[in-house]
Structure 1
Amino acid sequence: MKALVFTGIRRMELQEVPDPVVEQDGDAIIRVTSAAICGSDLHMYEGRTSAQPGMIFGHEVMGVVEKVGNGVQLVKVGDRVSLPFNVSCGACFNCVRGFVNACLTTNPASPGGGYGYADLGPYRGGQAQLLRVPFADFNCLKLPGTPGDRWEEDFIMLSDVLPTGYHATIMADVIPGSSVAVFGAGPVGYMAAMSAFLRGAAEVYVVDRSEVRLRKVAELGAVPINFTEGDPVEAILKLRSENKAIRESLRPGEEKMAGVLCGIDAVGYQAIGRPDPNQERPVQVIEDLARLVDATGSIGLIGVYFKGDPGGVDQNARQGHFTLPLGALWEKGIKIETGQAPVKRYNALLRDAIVQGQLMPGKFVSHKLRLENGPEAYEKFVQRGTGEGAEYTKIVLKPNG
């Protein structure tokens, strides 16, 4: 089969590799119809993980079942399926409690397995024509329709970015009427803003520097904030203070709640500093949220923070050690939740929301490309909404044409 193979830092090549085979009775083989490039893939692409040449990336995958093992009972050949990026067994102590992101059996090294990702086990990724799916009965989400239909670009988001964005709103305690600030208008930030509105948020601010991405979040009804134009925290505080209805609703003392109740970090450890956009500053977003989120509020850190980063800005960052504004967070009593999303906890219901027209995450897709265009796609997407990559908001590869 053909696959997109990582051959070194910022190098991807289309290669012929051996087809996957059924290794266990519970396996399925799917023919991939769509495989998206994720912002997390860029960490490996840039040499910011332990990823080694020869890896096949790709954890946002959907397709059609082509073969199943003898032990597979619920998944049939010909089924159209979405795959959570979490590879999980469904039976261990963590899986039965809903924490499929920390499965104890699928990764020999640590809790949590995943397709085509550094340190998440031995599983090849789906930026390829075929993919082996372990524990298929548990991991395959059946989809309606046929490949290439009106839901294809929506359904590909079910593997990762849509459930991840939704999980961020759970971590940040978004409920009807909430005020929300999302830092990062990439795919996860966009999905977080969409999910915040789905959960009833009254106001959502989204911070980024890409005008293309900010225009897309504005189409959702969010308020775009470009941090290159000034301090985003001050900009949000100013907008809220100028809202007459908010001011007239406050009783004495309540003006202390000038910020937002819910904060989401959809950027992670490759955040850039201010005022110099060329200076990486891993804790920039966390510091901003510590200033912006009100006392008793909540922060969801869905952006990636690795314990090992070969390209970190200093020795501490390379070991995943960061200096946090713990005093401000503690003083305000702010709750912080971190970690990967347990995709299976949400993907079936989010699928149904798509089918019923309540969510249209595929609108964020900007490019649908053949697998051989993958190397160029990575070159554009790694610019994160700037320069020649400004229009590349979300890329979906079509491995089988």
Structure 2
Amino acid sequence: MPENRAVVYKEPGKVAVEDISYPDLVLRDGPGVNPLNVGRKCQHGVILKVVSTNICGSDQHMVRGRTTAPSGLVLGHEITGEVIDVGRDVEFIKKGDLVSVPFNIACGRCRNCKERNTNVCLNVNPDRPGSAYGYVDMGGWVGGQSEYVMVPYADFQLLKFPDKEQAMEKILDLTMLSDIFPTGYHGAVSAGVRPGSTVYVAGAGPVGLAAAHSAQLLGAAVVIVGDLNVERLAQARSFGCETIDLSVHSNLAEQIEQTLGIPEVDSAVDCVGFEAHGHGQGHSEAPATVLNSIMEVTRPGGKLGIPGLYVTGDPGAVDTDAKIGTLKVRFGLGWAKSHTFFTGQTPVMQYHRDLMMAILNGKAQIAKAVNATVISLEEAPRAYADFDRGVSRKFVIDPHGLIH
């Protein structure tokens, strides 16, 4: 049986690459596994040899100690791999298939899955609707920043690439289908972006850049990206976005007016989430800043896409309310402007096939937009540290040296 190594969360600010068990088709006990999930049989699942697995900003929240993630949790929910073993009940996925794994774990059988709301599957997480690999309070499914991983409900979930050789040529784009490309796209779609729209994207991290690129794919006339990080703003400008340096400018509406001639946009997308900072010099953490600012600058009747992560437990929050996800949001402003809010995990399966076709046919260059950077599994701890410092890269882990 092959060995298996993985990226493991140790304590705030520290991850390590360690030996873990080779996966089988049973969810066994371990860090973060809900007791009701222990021993769960997964003959509907497959074992993947991981071809690529990405470091996500959501992982970084845990590594910073901003969640209740337990020590020893195997990280990683952005997974692309080759099928090397299939369960007894798998009918259509075959050994040798190269597949993208939606980060949402979904059974395909419950009411929500049948209604395409795979982000809130009712059967995979005893704690709450919805689940993900290698993530706190998500049922304990083992993460995929590893050499090998088990994926349940394979026939329903997996997106098979039609041609393996063609897929490997575009693997740096296709690896983004597991999460950030559908997440950014969902943010733009749920914000109502359409041809001719003006769009403000809060945050120039990988998801923000994916949302900006998605807005362009949807035909937006102008995409404006705001951030506190000048390197990430430069990356947004590299593919045609307007930018606002929020470390200097505290008045977002005024800056938007300088670009558009009016102080508002048609649509806005929050790609920051609960660790948001205030705007202007001397800024500090103020978690409701982005939500309040996008209400301020979005036109009456507009929509707000909110794929940025918000949590119900944040031990490092700035105040008692924020520790349980209670924020001082100007809901009255949103009500007065008849805004529509879209929140929650992205239902990846609603989008990943269309986005795959856009990649394979040269219509989307998501790897370039997010500055995809390949690293080995052993380099993951350094990459986490670099990402935490704000480098403008999307780190893609190549556990087996298959990406050329």
> What is the TM-score normalised by the length of structure 1?
0.92
The match for 2:395 is 395
Q: Is the 8 A contact 1:107 1:120 kept in 2?
A: yes
1:37-93 Cα deviation digits (max 9, x unpaired): 000001110111111011110000101001001110111000000000000001110
The match for 1:57 is 75
CA distance in 2, matches of 1:274, 1:199: 29
Q: Report matched runs for 1:112-261 at 5 Å.
A: 112-143=130-161, 144-146=163-165, 149-230=168-249, 231-241=251-261, 258-261=263-266
User: Per the alignment, in what secondary structure is the counterpart of residue 76 of structure 2?
Assistant: coil
1:88-143 Cα deviation digits (max 9, x unpaired): 00111000101000000011111001100001112010000000000011111101
Among 117, 121, 137, the alignment partner of 1:103 is: 121
Q: Is the 8 A contact 1:374 1:397 kept in 2?
A: yes
Work out the number of aligned pairs and report it.
Answer: 380
Structure 1 residue 212, shift from structure 2 partner: 2.3
**Cα distance, 1:138–1:26 mapped onto 2, change above 3 Å:** same
CA distance in 1, matches of 2:315, 2:359: 39
Q: Is the 8 A contact 2:252 2:297 kept in 1?
A: no
Of residues 365-374 and 65-74 in structure 1, the stretch that sits farther from structure 2 once superposed is 365-374
CA distance in 2, matches of 1:337, 1:20: 36
Structure 1 stretches of at least 4 aligned residues deviating more than 6 Å after TM superposition = none
> What is the TM-score normalised by the length of structure 2?
0.91
User: Per the alignment, in what secondary structure is the counterpart of residue 62 of structure 1?
Assistant: strand
Among 11, 16, 19, the alignment partner of 1:13 is: 16
Structure 1 residue 150, shift from structure 2 partner: 2.3
Structure 1 residue 366, shift from structure 2 partner: 4.1
User: Per the alignment, in what secondary structure is the counterpart of residue 7 of structure 2?
Assistant: strand
Q: Is the 8 A contact 2:307 2:343 kept in 1?
A: yes
User: Per the alignment, in what secondary structure is the counterpart of residue 82 of structure 1?
Assistant: strand
Structure 1 residue 332, shift from structure 2 partner: 1.1
Root-mean-square deviation over aligned CA pairs: 1.4
The match for 1:353 is 358
CA distance in 1, matches of 2:260, 2:16: 49
CA distance in 1, matches of 2:104, 2:184: 15
Structure 1 residue 232, shift from structure 2 partner: 2.8
**Cα distance, 1:165–1:16 mapped onto 2, change above 3 Å:** same
Q: Is the 8 A contact 1:258 1:294 kept in 2?
A: no
The match for 2:37 is none
- Give the counterpart letter for 1:223 in structure 2: E
Of residues 328-337 and 69-78 in structure 1, the stretch that sits farther from structure 2 once superposed is 328-337
* Unaligned runs of at least 5 residues, structure 1: 242-256
2:272 matched to 1:267? Answer: yes
Structure 1 residue 274, shift from structure 2 partner: 2.8
CA distance in 2, matches of 1:379, 1:129: 21
Structure 1 residue 258, shift from structure 2 partner: 4.2
Among 80, 85, 109, the alignment partner of 1:67 is: 85
CA distance in 2, matches of 1:369, 1:10: 19
The match for 1:32 is 50
CA distance in 2, matches of 1:148, 1:168: 26
CA distance in 2, matches of 1:150, 1:127: 21
Among 355, 374, 377, the alignment partner of 2:380 is: 374
Q: Is the 8 A contact 2:248 2:279 kept in 1?
A: no
Among 290, 304, 315, the alignment partner of 2:309 is: 304
CA distance in 2, matches of 1:210, 1:308: 26
Structure 1 residue 229, shift from structure 2 partner: 2.5
CA distance in 1, matches of 2:264, 2:278: 21
Among 108, 111, 114, the alignment partner of 1:90 is: 108
Of residues 289-298 and 78-87 in structure 1, the stretch that sits farther from structure 2 once superposed is 289-298
* Unaligned runs of at least 5 residues, structure 2: 27-41
The match for 1:249 is none
